[in-house]
């Protein structure tokens, strides 16, 4: 085994020996102690080693079984791809075809898709003959798919060494708060959650891993807030990972007295830009939020605020396993724990990975992000503007659910808006825009806006599968609306 993989394996073995009866993971209908967890992982790893070589595709609901098979694949040193539950059938088929997976384990709802993709049912695995070589780099432990800006997701190939070094750093970063109970909120297919779970296991914490539907989460962006908040409270979670929109819901619930901060000690947030106003609101209610930054190509987490080194508004300092520098144009470059390569493309052999994000460091080494390099537009006054910055400020004020900002070659910035409450009046939206504008410099303010006829969504092609705007498609679809706004 590689050193980090061996370290993880031995840590789980030690937990099984020293705290064997402690709860390791509980799901909707089953629980496992650390002794049972280790034994079950070993049994499943042996089953996987006995199968013909090839990529293992996993698509089970979040829960103990999904975790056991994920860990078994890791220790069997078999490349594993976890199919995101928010992917479309066409995207799942793309993943299976591109990875040339020979082994699959899914819920019954996906068996027809497996059949259509050439798999034959078996116990416990569905199997198909090896096809053409998929070009999976040597040492690949996980193929994680990023939805990107097009409909065809890209497979990022990562080694166990890269992922587990990140997990170890996450565990060390949270250690001062000593969280003993962890709730998995995001799908296991999201690399950030996957590694968060590994970090919690390294720490010997007790995990709650529930199906997304039980948490009240559906698709890429649907949330039943009452159900989700109830699960957080009932789990007794001391630590969890959230994306900004989920953090907004949690903070709003605490502000309205619908929920207490309770035992939460370490709430990590990442995946998209977090507005300073939301971080301020979290601090005001006493919620211990720590923002971080990373990307799949760098095994998820690169920078992280944590107790003793927390500067709200930044994404933290680089963690010890990486080096971060800035190109001449401000692009963030990362060295260490980078991908082996994209599936089906030449291996990555460089030293520094260009992230496509723009940033700056303060004098103390904290990184501040300004948005995506490719999304930056230039106004007719020559001002460079990153729309994600403005969109984050608009949507994290508690009124607007979605915002799209455009200003390329224009004297003023335009916005397309969709409210949290579809019944909200235009006056309410206008007030939200003006409140946001009051916090922004003149060149970043929204001067004209239009209410969307319907929310952006992956089904309509205006959002990626993980909820990011497909900017070119939005511009194409709403070209007339934006032109009319610009000419008013």
Q: Tell me the helices (H) and strands (E) count for the chain, helix number first.
A: 15, 27
- Answer yes or no: is pLDDT of 226 > 70: yes
Report how far apart, in Å, the C-alpha atoms of 45 and of each of 36, 49, 102, 165, 485 are. Answer: 14, 6, 16, 21, 59
For the chain, what is the mean pLDDT?
93
Residues 6+ apart with CB under 8 A from 484: none
439 vs 327, which has greater pLDDT?
327
The CATH number of the domain covering residues in 376-487: 3.30.300.30
- 267-309 residue pLDDT tens: 999 877 788 889 999 999 999 999 999 999 999 999 999 999 9
Looking at domain 3-158, does it have CATH number 3.40.720.10?
no
Question: Identical fold at 3-158 and 161-371?
Answer: yes
d(CA 390, CA 409): 17
> Average pLDDT, stretch 254-272?
94
- pLDDT category of residue 440 using cuts at 50, 70 and 90: confident
Give me the pLDDT at residue 386, please: 84
- Answer yes or no: is pLDDT of 385 > 90: no
> Average pLDDT, stretch 364-372?
92
Nearest to 485 by CA among 417, 418, 435: 417
- 30-79 residue pLDDT tens: 999 999 999 999 999 999 999 999 999 999 999 999 999 999 999 999 99
Give me the pLDDT at residue 85, please: 85
Q: Please report, for the chain, the start and end positions of each structural domain, with discontinuous segments joined by +.
A: 3-158, 161-371, 376-487
Inter-axis angle of helices 191-202 and 160-174, nearest 10:
60
Residues 6+ apart with CB under 8 A from 398: 248, 252, 420
Which pTM value belongs to this model? 0.85
Give me the pLDDT at residue 219, please: 67
What's the DSSP call for residue 347?
B
Extract the tokens encoding 147. Answer: 């939805």
Residues 6+ apart with CB under 8 A from 201: 8, 11, 12, 15, 24, 207
DSSP string, 202-257: HTTPEEEE--HHHHTEETTTEE-HHHHHHHHHHHT-SEEEE-HHHHHHHHHHHHTT
End-to-end CA distance of the chain: 65
Cis peptide before 124 (omega within 30 of 0): yes
- 185-215 residue pLDDT tens: 999 999 999 999 999 999 999 999 999 999 9
DSSP string, 94-146: HHHHHHT--EEEE-GGGHHHHHHTT-B--SS-EE----S---PPTTEEEEEEE
> Average pLDDT, stretch 411-418?
94
CATH class name, domain 161-371: alpha beta
- Answer yes or no: is pLDDT of 149 > 50: no
d(CA 303, CA 293): 5
Report how far apart, in Å, the C-alpha atoms of 56 and of each of 21, 43, 59, 97, 240 are. Answer: 31, 16, 10, 12, 28
- 154-191 residue pLDDT tens: 899 999 999 999 999 999 999 999 999 999 999 999 99
- pLDDT category of residue 150 using cuts at 50, 70 and 90: very low
CA 352 to chain centroid, in Å, comes to 22
- pLDDT category of residue 448 using cuts at 50, 70 and 90: very high
Report how far apart, in Å, the C-alpha atoms of 465 and of each of 116, 202, 459, 478 are. Answer: 22, 30, 9, 20
Contact 77, 160 (CB under 8 A): yes
What is the number of alpha carbons within 13 Å of residue 398 lying toward its C-beta? Answer: 13
With a pLDDT cut of 70, the percent of the chain lying above it is 98
Q: 73: part of which helix (H) or strand (E)? A: helix 64-76
């Amino acid at each position: 085994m590689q050193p980090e993989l061996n370290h993880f394996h031995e840590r789980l073995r030690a937990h099984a020996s020293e705290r064997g009866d402690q709860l390791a993971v509980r799901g909707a209908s089953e629980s496992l102690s650390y002794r049972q967890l280790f034994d079950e992982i070993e049994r499943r790893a042996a089953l996987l080693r006995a199968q013909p070589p090839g990529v293992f595709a996993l698509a089970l609901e979040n829960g103990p079984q999904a975790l056991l098979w994920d860990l078994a694949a890791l220790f069997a040193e078999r490349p594993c791809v976890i199919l995101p539950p928010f992917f479309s059938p066409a995207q799942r088929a793309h993943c299976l075809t591109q990875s040339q997976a020979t082994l699959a384990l899914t819920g019954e709802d996906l068996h027809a898709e497996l059949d259509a993709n050439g798999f034959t049912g078996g116990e416990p695995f569905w199997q198909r003959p090896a096809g053409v070589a998929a070009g999976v780099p040597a040492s690949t432990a996980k193929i994680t798919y990023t939805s990107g800006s097009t409909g065809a997701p890209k497979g990022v190939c990562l080694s166990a060494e890269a992922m587990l070094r990140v997990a170890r750093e996450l565990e060390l970063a949270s250690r001062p708060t000593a969280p003993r109970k962890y709730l998995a909120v995001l799908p296991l297919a999201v690399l950030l959650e996957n590694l968060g779970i590994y970090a919690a296991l390294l720490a010997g914490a007790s995990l709650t891993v529930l199906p997304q539907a039980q948490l009240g989460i559906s698709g890429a962006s649907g949330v039943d807030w009452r159900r989700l908040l109830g699960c957080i409270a009932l789990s007794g979670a001391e630590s969890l990972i959230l994306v900004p929109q989920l953090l907004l819901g949690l903070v709003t619930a605490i502000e309205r007295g619908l929920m207490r901060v309770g035992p939460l000690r370490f709430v990590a947030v990442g995946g998209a830009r977090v507005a300073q106003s939301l971080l301020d609101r979290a601090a005001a209610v006493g919620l211990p939020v720590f923002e971080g930054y990373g990307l799949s190509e760098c095994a998820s987490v690169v920078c992280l605020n944590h107790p003793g080194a927390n500067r709200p508004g930044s994404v933290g300092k680089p963690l010890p396993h990486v080096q971060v520098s800035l190109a001449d144009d401000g692009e963030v470059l990362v060295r260490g724990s980078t991908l082996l390569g994209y599936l089906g493309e030449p291996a990555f052999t460089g030293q520094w990975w260009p992230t496509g994000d723009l940033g700056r460091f303060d004098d103390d080494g904290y990184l501040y992000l300004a948005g995506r390099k490719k999304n930056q537009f230039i106004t007719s006054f020559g001002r460079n503007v990153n729309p994600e910055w403005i969109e984050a400020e608009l949507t994290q004020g508690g009124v607007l659910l979605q915002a799209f900002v455009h200003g390329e070659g224009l004297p003023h910035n335009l916005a397309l808006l969709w409210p949290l409450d579809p019944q909200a009046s235009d006056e309410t939206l206008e007030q939200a825009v003006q409140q946001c504008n009051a916090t922004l410099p003149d060149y970043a303010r929204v001067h004209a806006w239009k209410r969307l006829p319907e929310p952006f969504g992956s089904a309509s092609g205006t959002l990626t599968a993980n909820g990011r705007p497909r900017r070119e498609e939005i511009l194409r679809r709403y070209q007339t609306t934006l032109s009319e706004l610009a000419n008013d």
